Chain A
């Protein structure tokens, strides 16, 4: 899985990607498009802003809905994905806008929600 899973990975939205160049992050977003090569896809966050996610190996499955990506931000402000998980929405849809609001809270109060 790689060492990026052993360190703190701040939860961020598209607006904070550029501030985390070179750093491990956790990004949650909805799948918007997938490149035909399967090595690149685009997620939208709770504010509808897009972030590009890259993979070392092409996808070996269909992805859709809300994904939580763990990876490192590249110099081009994309995320190099080390692992991802699909949020289950079989029982209830995931409120991505509310998640974005929660991110604003934890960014405003890092003393009560510390990363690391």
Chain B
């Protein structure tokens, strides 16, 4: 027997629809604490924090130690959340000096890099190490960490909870929490999510029409619906079918 490899390279025989939804890859650089990086789970070549894949991260901390070797500089960066983390920066051996000046211990820096693990020890390979000139950036970084990880967690929760069908009564309820309608879920606002979910669950081949959407979404004006449709279309979540009034989801069930 056998099973086909999907183009995404999942290849796993247990790749059910639900599991596939749960695997959200973070496309961005995620601000993290050293403690979060140390706690990240490793599955094969990937790391996960809160079940979200992460790769590129930023940390901010103080350099406790710096060691220059011929091909790299090894720093120990401390952000107080755990023991200092090893951060390696590869040195361009062709360049004469300039680019790769060692940042002295006692300096607060922002590090952007990739998480690595070798023999169960985590470290970062940095592509950018910048001394902080304004320590208020450090305060901002703290807030960004909480914000980013909260959103990553919420996106995961909402993805696994999308119901397979909506009743009209259900729409009203969902619209109710639109008081915080600007809180993005999956990067979408509440209005955009509602419109997308209706389009996704429409079984008709030519998709859902704007008129149908207006009928189902009593609390939304036609212009709000059109704005949502325009946004979703430009982001690639939906596409028009027989005409500009009918849309189907690109992520078809």
Contact surface of A with B, Cβ cutoff 8 Å: 1, 5-11, 26, 66, 70, 85, 87-89, 91-92, 94-95, 98-99, 102, 105-106, 109, 112-116
Inside 8 A of B84's CB, which chain A residues have their CB? 5-6
CA distance A42 to B184 in the complex (A): 44
9 smallest CB-CB distances across A and B, nearest first, come from: A112-B149, A6-B83, A92-B134, A87-B135, A112-B146, A26-B80, A9-B80, A102-B142, A114-B35
Inside 8 A of B198's CB, which chain A residues have their CB? none
Contact surface of B with A, Cβ cutoff 8 Å: 33, 35-36, 39, 62, 64, 78, 80-84, 106, 108, 132-136, 139, 142-143, 145-146, 149-150, 153
CA distance A114 to B83 in the complex (A): 13
Contact for B136 among A8, A26, A85, A95, CB less than 8 A: A95
Contact for A114 among B39, B78, B134, CB less than 8 A: B39
Contact for A5 among B39, B78, B133, B146, CB less than 8 A: B78
Chain B nearest CB from A86 CB (Å) reads: 9
Residues B83 and A91 in contact, CB atoms below 8 Å apart: no
Q: For A108, give the chain B residue with the smallest CB separation.
A: B146
Residues B83 and A112 in contact, CB atoms below 8 Å apart: no
Inside 8 A of A87's CB, which chain B residues have their CB? 108, 135
Most chain-B Cβ atoms within 10 A of its Cβ — which of A7, A26, A106, A112? Answer: A112
Residues B134 and A113 in contact, CB atoms below 8 Å apart: no
Inside 8 A of B145's CB, which chain A residues have their CB? 112-113
Inside 8 A of B36's CB, which chain A residues have their CB? 114
Known contacts A8-B35, A91-B134; is-contact A115 B62 (Cβ 8 Å) = no
Chain A nearest CB from B114 CB (Å) reads: 21
- Subset of 16 A-B contacts with CB under 8 Å: A6-B83, A7-B82, A8-B35, A8-B81, A8-B82, A66-B135, A88-B133, A94-B135, A94-B136, A95-B136, A98-B139, A105-B146, A106-B146, A109-B146, A112-B153, A116-B82
Q: For A110, give the chain B residue with the smallest CB separation.
A: B146
Residues A109 and B150 in contact, CB atoms below 8 Å apart: yes
CA distance A105 to B143 in the complex (A): 8
CA distance A5 to B39 in the complex (A): 19
Contact for A85 among B62, B149, B150, B153, CB less than 8 A: B62
Inside 8 A of B135's CB, which chain A residues have their CB? 66, 87-89, 92, 94
Known contacts A88-B133, A94-B136, A112-B150; is-contact A102 B82 (Cβ 8 Å) = no
Inside 8 A of B146's CB, which chain A residues have their CB? 105-106, 109, 112-113
Chain B nearest CB from A91 CB (Å) reads: 5
Chain B nearest CB from A46 CB (Å) reads: 10
Residues B80 and A11 in contact, CB atoms below 8 Å apart: yes
Inside 8 A of B83's CB, which chain A residues have their CB? 5-7
Inside 8 A of B62's CB, which chain A residues have their CB? 85
Inside 8 A of B153's CB, which chain A residues have their CB? 112
Chain A nearest CB from B231 CB (Å) reads: 28
Q: For B146, give the chain A residue with the smallest CB separation.
A: A112
CA distance A1 to B65 in the complex (A): 11
CA distance A9 to B36 in the complex (A): 14
CA distance A10 to B150 in the complex (A): 20
Inside 8 A of A115's CB, which chain B residues have their CB? 35, 80-82
Beyond A6-B83, A10-B80, list 8 extra A-B contacts (CB 8 Å): A9-B80, A88-B133, A102-B143, A105-B143, A113-B33, A114-B36, A115-B35, A116-B35
CA distance A116 to B81 in the complex (A): 6
